[in-house]
Amino acid sequence: MLIARAPTRISFGGGGTDLEAYYAEYGGQVVSAAINRYTYVVVVADGSQGVEVKGADCAGLGGLPLSGRFRASQALPRAALRHFGIERGLRLFIASEVPSGTGLGSSSSTAVALVKGLSSLLGMELGPAEVAELACELEIGRLGMPIGRQDQYAAAFGGLNVITFESEGVRVEPLALSPADRRRLQRNLMLFFTGSSRLSTTILRRQRQQTANATPVVLESLHAIKGLAVETRQALEQGKLDRVGELLDLSWELKKRLAADITNPFIDECYWLARANGALGGKVTGAGGGGFLLFYCPPARQAKVAEALRAKGLVRVDFDFDGVGAQVLVHNARVDLSTLRAGRRPRDEADGGLDLEMLKALRV
């Protein structure tokens, strides 16, 4: 058995600038933190003639076809298995502490956990940049998801980071926070589940298209959002944590200009209630439209904020920062690699298999 996990994330600024339609032209930057709400992948090598995938999003799927028609929830594990050339002999169980479509990056956390688990099963020692880039390749390159790249890097690296996106590559820099400021930041953050999820791809496709078309209001907003991410980094590293709350509020106002579906009357009401009761700022996590609300609020005012939002049906979710990133928790599987393949020729990239040259090029 092998058990791998990857954290989900919250972000403080820069969301949207990690889409290739933006960063390839202008460069992007996000400030984010991995949190201890995880996606788990359990791999059991049982020598069977097929591959079985079960879990929160794949319950009851039974055998996983590697070609032909397949359900949407099968797409990500299918792409990962094909990439590594695994065609039989495994049972996979995938479970997340975070519902899908709620803005904490659980889909990319799943991709990262799959890459970490399956590569470890095959005896590959991939670094976090390799894991993140391969997860991006699965989600964006193989499956055509209209998403950015921050979630995969946050999940693979863990910690609190500034992630810079350029056409030449991605750079991850840990935030220079003192232990005391890190603890204070954690105490000042509140996370609430609105009880609803959303299809983020609809919002992101529209945003990507408007960015590619150089729609003025979208481009101006993204430039300003990136500038606020730079300010957020400075505020965090200088210990001016209350300024982070103010910058979250400014970023939220800009984010709402990116697409009409990012907010709705219920989210607006909840946000107003939190601010009226003492939160300095906040945002909807992820693409918007539902999911989780993140607030920066001094501890003395948190009880009033929690009470006001609880009356609206929101549930507070406790969390802490994750400092490790994707990791293998258990690995006692003994696998003959030949049993994972069906005896055909070695698979190549065009065939959906493992591209060793690409992985070598990714090493840093």
234 or 218: which leads in pLDDT: 234
The CATH classification of domain 2-316, taken from the options 3.30.70.20, 3.30.230.120, 1.10.1530.10, 3.60.20.30: 3.30.230.120
| Both structure tokens of 363 | 């090493």
Rounded distance, CA 8 to CA 311, Å? 27
Angle between helix axes 128-136 and 150-157 (nearest 10 degrees) is 150
pLDDT of residue 351 exceeding 50: no
pLDDT tens profile 93-143: 999 998 777 789 999 999 999 999 999 999 999 999 999 999 999 999 999
- Residues designated catalytic: 151
| Both structure tokens of 260 | 């009409």
364 or 116: which leads in pLDDT: 116
Contact predicate 350/142, CB 8 Å: no
Rounded distance, CA 322 to CA 62, Å? 33
342 or 17: which leads in pLDDT: 17
167 or 352: which leads in pLDDT: 167
| Both structure tokens of 28 | 């992007």
DSSP state of 12: E
Highest mean pLDDT among 55-59, 251-255, 278-282: 278-282
Burial class (CB within 10 angstroms; exposed 0-12, middle 13-18, buried 19+) of 72: exposed
Where is average pLDDT lowest: 72-81, 243-252, 351-360?
351-360
Place of tokens 């220079």: 176
73 or 157: which leads in pLDDT: 157
Closest-CA residue to 100 (of 87, 111, 89, 115): 111
- Please report, for the chain, the start and end positions of each structural domain, with discontinuous segments joined by +: 2-316
Q: Is 32 helix (H, G, I), strand (E, B) or coil?
A: strand
Rounded distance, CA 103 to CA 109, Å? 11
Give the pLDDT score at 77.
92
pTM of the model: 0.87
Phi/psi at 3 (5° precision):
-125, 120
CA atoms within 13 A on the CB side of 171: 10
Q: What are the helix (H) ranges across the chain? A: 20-26, 75-83, 106-121, 128-136, 150-157, 179-187, 200-212, 216-237, 241-255, 265-276, 299-310, 356-362
Place of tokens 């579906």: 261
Q: Residue 325: which region, alpha, beta or left (left: phi > 0; alpha: psi -120 to 50)?
A: left
pLDDT tens profile 291-336: 899 999 999 999 999 999 999 999 999 999 999 999 999 988 666 6
Give the pLDDT score at 49.
80
- Bridge partners (DSSP) listed for residue 44: 91
Give the pLDDT score at 291.
82
Q: Is 353 helix (H, G, I), strand (E, B) or coil?
A: coil
| Both structure tokens of 199 | 């299809």
Contact predicate 83/354, CB 8 Å: yes
